[in-house]
């Protein structure tokens, strides 16, 4: 079942890259305090994700912070090394927390898996954006198909 507005964000282990290497973190911990914007992409280095989705949140990070967002996080079914390299290539710096859902467990817990086996991508996450307030989902926008409309940084800013 898909997570709905009013639900707590699932508490699942994901990874993020640190100076010492990949670090396992709890989504309940990193997404559970303050006002968080979480966006999910089907895959790092893919065209829409790299050309529009992630860059939009990097460019709008200050605007999101001005609206009370304490953390902007990006999650994808990729490993921490890929997410770190993608973040570096996009100049993310400290503006976006890059979360690696290597086995797709968070995508499954959110109820937002995407079966990409038909085009060689395996099981991934659907593209979406969520606003999470102290661990509770207050806004969820899942893309209805290919492209980027309801989960862009501009769309999120419009609902904050």
Would you please indicate which residues are annotated as catalytic (active-site) residues?
A: 49
The DSSP code for 8 is B
Q: Which residues neighbour 59 within 8 Å (Cβ) at sequence distance 6 or greater?
A: 153
Long-range contacts of 113-118 (CB under 8 A, 24+ apart): 114/42, 116/42
Nearest one of 14, 5, 10 to 32, comparing CA atoms: 10
Q: Where are the alpha helices (DSSP H) in the chain?
A: 27-30, 47-48, 54-59, 61-66, 80-89, 105-110, 153-159
């Amino acid at each position: 079942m898909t997570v709905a507005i009013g639900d707590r964000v699932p508490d699942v282990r994901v990874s993020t890259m640190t100076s010492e290497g990949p670090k396992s973190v709890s989504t309940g911990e990193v997404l559970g305090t303050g006002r968080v914007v979480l966006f999910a992409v089907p895959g790092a280095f893919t065209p829409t994700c790299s050309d529009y989705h992630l860059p939009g949140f990097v460019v709008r990070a200050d605007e999101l912070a001005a609206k009370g967002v304490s953390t902007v996080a990006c999650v994808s079914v990729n490993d921490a090394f890929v997410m770190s390299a993608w973040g570096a290539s996009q100049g993310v710096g400290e503006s976006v927390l890059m979360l690696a859902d290597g086995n797709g467990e968070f995508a499954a817990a959110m109820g937002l898996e995407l079966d990409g086996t038909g085009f060689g991508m395996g099981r991934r996450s659907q593209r979406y954006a969520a606003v999470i307030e102290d661990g509770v989902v207050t806004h969820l926008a899942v893309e209805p198909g290919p492209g980027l409309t309801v989960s862009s940084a501009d769309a999120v800013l419009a609902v904050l």
